Amino acid sequence: MLEVASQVITDLHPSIDVLKHVVDRHREVFEAVQKRDGELAFSVMSNHIIDVRNRLAKSSAQAKQ
């Protein structure tokens, strides 16, 4: 599943700003895990997943137009 998601995202040709945003979110998750703060890691990861899902839905809708 990760490979499929990765390919879909790559095919979208995200901008540098979008890639930076994604790296920042991953860094936040990593730092929360590193601190052993499970609640924070869960919260940050959940928000990241929702954000990615919304961005992909928006990109998909725009591509269909």
Enumerate the domain spans of the chain: 2-64
- Containing 47, the helix (H) or strand (E) segment is helix 38-64
Tokens of 41: 């890691």
The per-residue pLDDT for range 7-61, each reduced to its tens digit, is: 766 777 778 998 899 899 999 999 999 999 999 999 999 999 999 889 888 877 8
- Asked whether residue 2 carries a pLDDT value surpassing 90, the answer given is no
Tokens of 23: 């790296």
Predicted TM-score of the model (pTM): 0.71
Q: How confident is the model at residue 64 (pLDDT cuts 50, 70, 90)?
A: confident
